[in-house]
Amino acid sequence: MNVKEKDGLYIANTYARFPICLKSGKGSLVTDEEGKEYIDMATGIAVNSFGFCDNAWIDAVTKQLGTLQHTSNLYYSKPCADLAELICTKTAMKKVFFSNSGAEANECAIKTARKYAAEKKGSDYYTIITLKNSFHGRTVTTLAATGQEAFHKDFLPLTDGFVYVEADNCDELIKAVENNKVAAVMFETVQGEGGVLPLDEKFVKTVFELAEKYDFLTIADEVQTGNGRTGKLYGYMNYGVKPDIFTTAKGLGGGLPLGATVLGEKAADVLTPGSHGSTFGGNPAVCAGAISILSRITDELLAEVNAKSDYIFKSLSSAKGVKSVTGKGLMIGIETEKDASEVIAECQKNGVLVIKAKSKVRLLPALNIPDDLLKKAVDVIIKACE
Ligand SMILES: *Cc1c(COP(=O)(O)O)cnc(C)c1O
């Protein structure tokens, strides 16, 4: 039995996988089990921030693995405390709760917002406003936060207390804030799964003005947009705002599971002993790897990310068969005249891995993808769009 057959037989049928079995990789190159090499423009959905098997990250993780691989949160652990300090220092936030995924990071943010509102304004202030077309995770509560009915179907009833407004529609947002007892507004600064759509500056400003006026919390879901992906350390930094809570995961661990719920001044002391927890969250080996990732996302690296982004936008915007290019930094969506799946298959045939976001082709290359590989990949993508 080959891998595809075995997978079909034993793995739960939740994924529509591409017909490729990846075997090994280094940097932005990855090889399948038949020995075919690809330039990777997907990084395992924005996870492998510095590409496959990045040396500094491997060193950090393996060194910690040989020292102490897991402690549980019953004990103090240095990598965990060091990573929290690094995140807070870089963002001027106050405290971090570590978990293992984006969905869990968002669950913690939702619990924190509800507890904040319950204590401050009363337990009926539980409503969380999220955006239509958003994506916040697959647990029953983060599905409820996800403003897309297609994901809800067959799993009802979901957690109560979520209200959806159209992204960039300030009037709808204002109405929702006036008509509900709101604990928080939660948003992605660039909707990733929704089609790589950045929010309007005016809309984001309005969220923060309303938060001030009505004293609810702002939650930025930076699971995909975080950790340098959009050309700033976190996506909200493109808007000159500072959320009360931001969540992140994907790129933070550089390839190992790690979620973080990062709390600002207002939210820092809401969680108390026993109110939340995780067995694996803040695992020392995972945190040691994340320190090596986050400490290399410097202004110089971000300048490179933005230069690579400009190159992609310029090259693709004028290409034949391309209707539009959206996104920020190295999180890019391409609306193509051809069906996106067709373009993706053509890219795969020619040795480039790209993925889909709704009906678009999505690019999420490594933050440090070498310029020659980027150019080669972009040339292949342009040809595939024609
Ligand atoms: C991927 C993603 C999630 C869910 O993360 P998991 O690690 O799959 O649970 C949540 N929010 C956003 C914006 C995402 O892109």
With tokens 């940097």, the residue in question is 27
Cα 102 to middle of ligand 1, angstroms: 4
Cα 67 to middle of ligand 1, angstroms: 30
Cα 203 to middle of ligand 1, angstroms: 22
Q: What is the DSSP letter of 234?
A: S
Ranges of residues in the chain whose predicted pLDDT is under 70: none
Cα 211 to middle of ligand 1, angstroms: 24
Atom of ligand 1 nearest to the CA of 101: 7
Q: Which protein residue has the closest C-alpha to ligand 1 atom 15?
A: 224
Q: Which two tokens stand for residue 103?
A: 């969905």
Instruction: Check if 232 has its Cβ closer than 6 Å to any atom of ligand 1.
Output: no
Instruction: Check if 188 has its Cβ closer than 6 Å to any atom of ligand 1.
Output: yes
Per-residue pLDDT at 46: 98
Structural domains of the chain, with CATH = 3-53+299-385 (3.90.1150.10), 57-295 (3.40.640.10)
Cα torsion angle, 308, 310, 316, 318, sign:
negative
Rg (the chain; Cα; Å):
21
Contact by Cβ (8 Å): 101, 137? yes
The number of residues making up the chain comes to 386
Closest by CA to 53, choosing from 81, 26, 90, is 26
Closest by CA to 218, choosing from 188, 175, 180, is 188
Instruction: Give buried/exposed letters for 275-300 (b at 16+ CB in 10 A, else e).
Output: ebebebbbbbbbbbbbbbbbebbeee
Which segments of 147-194 does DSSP mark as H helices, in order? 149-152, 170-179
Cα 210 to middle of ligand 1, angstroms: 26
Per-residue pLDDT at 322: 98
Instruction: Check if 102 has its Cβ closer than 6 Å to any atom of ligand 1.
Output: yes
* pTM reported for the whole predicted model: 0.98
Q: Which two tokens stand for residue 295?
A: 């400490």
Q: Which protein residue has the closest C-alpha to ligand 1 atom 5?
A: 102
Q: Which residues contact 212 (CB under 8 A, 6 or more apart)?
A: none
Instruction: Check if 235 has its Cβ closer than 6 Å to any atom of ligand 1.
Output: no
- Would you tell me how many other CB atoms lie within 10 Å of the CB of residue 63? 13
Instruction: Check if 103 has its Cβ closer than 6 Å to any atom of ligand 1.
Output: yes
Per-residue pLDDT at 339: 98
Query: What are the DSSP calls for 67-130, one per residue?
Result: T-S---TTS--HHHHHHHHHHHHHHT--EEEEESSHHHHHHHHHHHHHHHHHHHT-TT--EEEE
Alpha-carbon span 98 to 79, nearest angstrom = 12
Look at residue 274 and give its three-state secondary structure. Answer: coil
